[in-house]
């Protein structure tokens, strides 16, 4: 009879537990830095807003490609100004260097991103609701206001210079319109790019304010152009040298993963050109003899 067979049932049970513990240790060992399975308090995660790393009100942006909740919840988090939100870590054992110690589900975000539990408290509700999980760059939230401020700097860099000119280049005659152009396009078009894990579409449109130097002004969304385009034209009643001024105001807006649009933060971008001198001549009749 073997030594194990001679053991009492309780002793055999204790031996089996010891063997299983050794096997679990061997099988569970992974290379340094790999995600580890849940252990103890690392798995003890409760969707409690008191444990949240980040809390806020309104404007929370959740990446469409990683959010596990519904489109309705993602839209509400971004567009409900009175909704409160909270972000909780997926597990308590999240490392400082980016490794997550609570299993593959929590470590499945791209490098540099961390999975968070998303809670919402809707107006009139007394209970927070868990609406899904999401991967966030650095684990930190991004709000509509955050992007609006950051995109304002991009708009300032993207607007084309204001470069007005007039035709005819040598001046015009009394009663005949001079034709002006701002030297700019009507819009910025659509600029598409990725920013902090989101797909951004940025757009902008210009309007112009002209002062023709004789007391006449024009506000328009026409950028002007060369003859025969007469979108920005002006006829003078008296001869002289007129100083023509023009300014451009750019309004911009953006969408995030299909949500929006929202206005870019800060004041509109305003450009003011140097004054443009325009000679207005009096037409003179001359007798021509054949």
Residue spans per domain, the chain: 36-140, 144-281
Residue 144 pLDDT: 96
DSSP state of 233: E
3-state class (DSSP) for residue 247: strand
Is the pLDDT at 12 greater than 80, yes or no?
no
Is the pLDDT at 192 greater than 80, yes or no?
yes
Reference 136, options 83, 208, 60; nearest CA is 60
List phi, psi (to 5°) of 144. -60, -45
Domain 144-281, architecture per CATH: Sandwich (2.60)
Is the pLDDT at 195 greater than 50, yes or no?
yes
What percent of the chain has pLDDT above 70? Answer: 76
| 231, 289 contact by CB (below 8 A) | no
Is the pLDDT at 8 greater than 70, yes or no?
no
Helix (H) or strand (E) holding 195, with range, is: strand 187-195
Structure token pair of residue 13? 């049970």
CA–CA dist 184, 271 (Å, integer): 11
Q: Which residue has the higher pLDDT, 248 or 139?
A: 248
Is the pLDDT at 56 greater than 90, yes or no?
yes
- For the whole prediction, is pTM greater than 0.85? no
Is the pLDDT at 27 greater than 50, yes or no?
no
């Amino acid at each position: 009879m073997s030594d194990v067979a001679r053991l009492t049932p309780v002793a055999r049970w204790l031996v089996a537990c010891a063997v299983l513990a050794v096997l679990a240790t061997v099988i569970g060992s992974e290379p340094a830095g790999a995600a580890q399975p849940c252990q103890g308090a690392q798995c003890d995660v409760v969707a409690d807003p008191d444990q949240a790393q980040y809390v806020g009100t309104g404007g929370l942006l959740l990446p469409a490609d990683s959010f596990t909740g519904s489109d309705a919840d993602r839209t509400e988090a971004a567009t409900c100004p009175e909704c409160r939100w909270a972000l909780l870590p997926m597990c308590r054992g999240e490392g400082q260097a980016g490794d997550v110690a609570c299993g593959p589900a929590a470590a499945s975000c791209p490098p540099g991103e961390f999975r968070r539990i998303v809670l919402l408290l809707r107006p009139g509700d007394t209970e927070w609701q868990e609406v899904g999980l999401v991967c966030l760059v650095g684990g930190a939230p991004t709000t509509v206001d955050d992007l609006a401020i950051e995109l304002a700097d991009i708009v300032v860099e993207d607007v084309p210079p204001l470069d007005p000119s007039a035709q005819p280049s040598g001046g015009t005659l009394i009663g005949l319109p001079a034709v002006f152009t701002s030297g700019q396009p009507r819009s910025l078009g659509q600029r598409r790019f990725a920013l902090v894990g989101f797909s951004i579409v940025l757009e902008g449109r210009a309007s112009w304010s002209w002062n023709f130097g004789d007391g006449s002004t024009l506000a328009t969304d026409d950028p002007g152009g060369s003859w025969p385009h007469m979108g920005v034209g002006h006829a003078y009643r008296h001869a002289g040298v007129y100083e023509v001024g023009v300014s451009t105001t750019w309004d911009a807006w953006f969408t995030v993963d299909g949500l929006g649009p929202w206005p870019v933060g800060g004041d509109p971008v305003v450009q003011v050109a140097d004054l443009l001198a325009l000679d207005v001549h009096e037409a003179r009749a001359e007798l021509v003899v054949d």
